[in-house]
Structure 1
Amino acid sequence: MQDQSGIGIAITGSGSTVPPVVLDNQGLSQIVDTSDEWISTRTGIRQRRLAAPNESLRSIAAQAAQQALAMAKVSVTEVDLIILATSTPDDLFGTASQVQATLGATKAAAFDLTAACSGFVFGMVTAAQFIRTGTYQTVVVIGADILSRWVDWSDRRTCVLFGDGAGAIVMQASPVSDGLLGFELHNDGSQNGCLTLSYQPQPHPLGEIVTVGQGTFNPIAMNGQEVYRFAVKRVPEVIEKALFRANLTVEQVDWLLLHQANQRILDAVAQRLGISNEKVISNMANYGNTSAASIPIALDEVVRAGTIQPGDVIAASGFGAGLTWGATIFRWG
């Protein structure tokens, strides 16, 4: 059913790309004191993809978008808006404009959106508002991160978790049906310290007049236990709220698609919602936690495998630094 605006939304294409370099748990155990058994039993991760030093977020984001546009059979000249959800831009002023130039999407506006591992869900909801108001007809939403740039490879609590990649979808205005059925977004900044990639100032005197801060960013730091407790409590709640807004029940969900952070979180959320394991989409064993890219990468894989069929109802939820969390209920195709 269409939104009250009379403009529906169709999700018509997906795409994804990951770097070719694979670092499995055995290889990681040669870098830091860990083991394949320790990592896989606690996280479900067995390997991750890592970008080369000269590989850019721009390039992998553009590749994912090109695949999504090809599946949707949409010309790049038809794209009105590009939203790039990322926490690791090539340029702190933003990378979406570079992606726009790489694609040749000369008609499109473009901007970065930062909501960490929830970024893709926040990006979908943002795109929907532009479409429902009639401002734009075709929006490309990309989730892309190169977290390996900001990992402390001597910290076994975090370095075992993260990988690099990009995923994208095409969202289009539809006059006949509405595929974005409901959503819910939340933040709790008081828990920001649980997961950070924080600025580290270094005092820089400008003569005797004033001192400014010129520094860099600390590596990723995380309180894993707090993040786990947060996720298993808040994610089921936000999905239930989004389902309520969509006027659907848990039983009507065909697929549960969560941010690929930890297999234990996926299992716990599914159990609390009463969703069978057969409906839970998981690919973290191969890619690890790719932040904003994890949901669209997993979505693209199952779409291309024929697992998800047109008309299937998907409950997707992102959660992570901020702390942020949100859910969208959408119909594929």
Structure 2
Amino acid sequence: MTSEERMASHLASVVSGVGSFLPPRIIGNQDPPLSELDTTAEWIRSRTGIERRRWVDPGTSTGDLALRAGRGALRSAGDPVVDLVVLTTTTPDHHSPATAPWVAAQLGLGTVPAFDIAAACSGFTYGLAVADAWIISGAAQCVLVIAAETLSTITDPSDRGTAVVFADGAAAVVVRAGRSDEPGAIQGVLLGSDGTRQDLAVVNAGGSRRPDREGLADPADRCLRMLGPDMFAHAVRRMTEVSRQLLERLDWPVESLGAFIGHQANQRILDKVADLVGVPAASRFANIREVGNTSSASIPLVMRDLLDGEAVPCATRTLLTAFGGGAVWGAVALTWPDVKPSVEGHS
């Protein structure tokens, strides 16, 4: 559906609730195990923009975080009847089954359809795209999209390239059927992928290509590895391209943006993309300094912070963009929602 058809139909997917949850354990740049790396707290801050991040304690799973964030989003939306649950994650509770059905059951949503999406750091944009498609097609009236990650469980604490960056957290949004002129209405979605660059960020062992049934693989191959310089270049390129393309499709001048939220991968990436797209400084928002790179959860975590602080006026033109391993990328345009986050979660 084109933007003109969407506006003419007056049908839209509307963000009507937001929730989040961060595990209580805080790891600063000077704290173990980061303090044991061949680096300094200042090096980490200057290279990534991160000063602290949250890691789960042993025994806490992605599903546990997702449950708390999902409950908060539902309360924020007034506990609506949900037709679909979508969970975006790189760290599901199990290889099989998916984590989303368990979360849906724990939330008391009955036998609604529920499934996981594996789109790495772009997961939230993909999850919004799925919710939007189900609602616009008439297949659902209300969708719960949860982005949850426990990246510390697949990170090698001795690898400076990943240990200082990745973190844990979850955030969720309720998306319901509504009108295109409502605050929170999704105005456009654009996604992409390039499977020839799956090497940018990968866990080499443990999947069907390298099953490692006996657990004999090098521990490094069972953790997330990232080609840092290549990832930086591709993230900047793809996030810039997809942002420009979606703005052009919607005929939104970049000066009309009141809020620009990129995936919180690295502060230098965020700054570079915003500069290339031409986003005004006052419209750029981030929280990577406090929470690190939480992969698919990063964009909705920023949204939750901004809603808490009432930092963005209702109905403001907003652009979300992300890039992740796979390689996958996406952008979503919406008007800023009129939402009051629940007290549940975000500790």
Q: TM-score range by the shorter chain?
A: over 0.9
Q: 2:224: which partner in 1?
A: 220
Q: What does residue 191 of structure 2 align with?
A: 185
SS of the aligned residue for 2:31 comes to: helix
Equivalent-residue separation in structure 2 for 1:176 and 1:203 (angstroms): 44
Correspondence for 2:176? 172
Residue of structure 1 equivalent to 2:112: 108
Q: Is the 8 A contact 2:14 2:179 kept in 1?
A: no
Which amino acid is 1:277 matched to? Answer: A
- In structure 2, do the counterparts of structure 1 residues 102 and 226 end up closer, same or farther at CA, with 3 Å as the change threshold? same
Q: Which amino acid aligns with 2:67?
A: A
Q: CA deviation at 1:160?
A: 0.4
> Which of 53, 58, 69 in structure 2 is aligned with 1:53?
58
- Label 1:14 to 1:202 Cα distance change in 2 as closer, same or farther (>3 A): closer
Q: Is 1:19 the counterpart of 2:18 in the alignment?
A: no
Q: How does 1:281-296 map to 2 (within 5 A)?
A: 281-296=285-300
Say if 2:47 is the partner of 1:82.
Answer: no
* Correspondence for 2:342: none
Aligned residue among 21, 31, 39 for 2:36: 31
Unaligned regions of 5+ residues in structure 1, if any? 205-211
Match of 1:253 among 239, 250, 257: 257
Q: CA deviation at 1:187?
A: 0.5
Give yes or no for the alignment of 1:92 onto 2:91: no
State the match for 1:72 in structure 2: 77
- Over 3 Å counting, the alpha-carbon distance change for 1:118 and 1:201 in structure 2 is closer
Contact 2:15 2:175 in 1 (8 A): yes
How large is the Cα RMSD of the aligned pairs? 2.0
**Bigger shift: 243-252 or 51-60?**
243-252
How far apart, in 1, do the equivalents of 2:15 and 2:249 lie?
19
Counterpart amino acid of residue 251 in structure 1: E
SS in 2 for 1:183: strand
Shift of 1:30: 2.6
* Contact 2:193 2:327 (8 Å CA) reproduced: yes
Structure 1 pair 215–18 and aligned structure 2 pair: CA distance change class (3 A): farther
Distance across 2 between alignment mates of 1:328 and 1:175: 17
- CA gap 1:42/1:141 in 2 versus in 1, 3 angstroms: same
In structure 2, distance between residues paired with 1:172 and 1:200: 37
Distance 1:190 1:37 in 2: 35
- Supply the distance in 1 between the matched residues of 2:234 and 2:209 (Cα, whole angstroms): 35
The structural deviation recorded for 1:72 is 1.5
CA distance in 2, matches of 1:202, 1:87: 16
> Which of 302, 326, 344 lines up with 1:322 in the alignment?
326
In 2: Cα distance, 1:57 partner to 1:213 partner: 23
By how many angstroms is 1:332 displaced?
2.1
Structure 1 SS opposite 2:109:
coil
Q: Given the superposition, is the C-alpha separation of residues 135 and 153 from structure 1 closer, same or farther in structure 2, using an over 3 Å criterion?
A: same
- Whether the 8 Å contact between 2:12 and 2:187 is mirrored in structure 1 is no
Q: Which runs of no fewer than 5 residues in structure 2 stay unpaired?
A: 216-220, 338-347
| Inter-partner Cα distance in structure 2 for 1:319 and 1:116 | 8
| Aligned counterparts of 2:10 and 2:285: Cα–Cα separation in 1 | 32
**C-alpha distance in structure 2 between counterparts of 1:107 and 1:309, whole Å:** 37
Are residues 1:120 and 2:117 paired? no
Indicate if the aligned counterparts of 1:203 and 1:214 stay in contact, CA closer than 8 A: no
Compared CA separation, residues 81 and 34, structure 1 to 2 (3 A): same
Equivalent residue for 1:159?
163
Counterpart Cα distance in 1 of 2:293 and 2:21: 14
1:315 is paired with a residue whose SS is: strand
Higher strand fraction: Structure 1 or Structure 2? 1
Counterpart CA distance in 2 for 1:64 and 1:115 is 19
Larger mean Cα displacement after TM superposition, 212-221 or 48-57? 212-221
TM-score w.r.t. length of structure 2: 0.89
What is the CA distance between 1:308 and its match in structure 2? 2.1
Tell me if 1:238 matches 2:237.
no
The number of residue pairs the alignment matches comes to 324
Provide the rounded CA distance (Å) in 2 between the counterparts of 1:21 and 1:322: 29
- Which amino acid is the alignment partner of residue 68 of structure 2? Q
Q: How far did residue 74 of structure 1 move?
A: 2.8
Task: Report the Cα distance in structure 2 between the residues aligned to 1:213 and 1:17, rounded to whole angstroms.
Answer: 33
TM-score after normalising by structure 1: 0.92
Do 1:2 and 1:8's aligned partners in 2 also have CA atoms closer than 8 Å? no
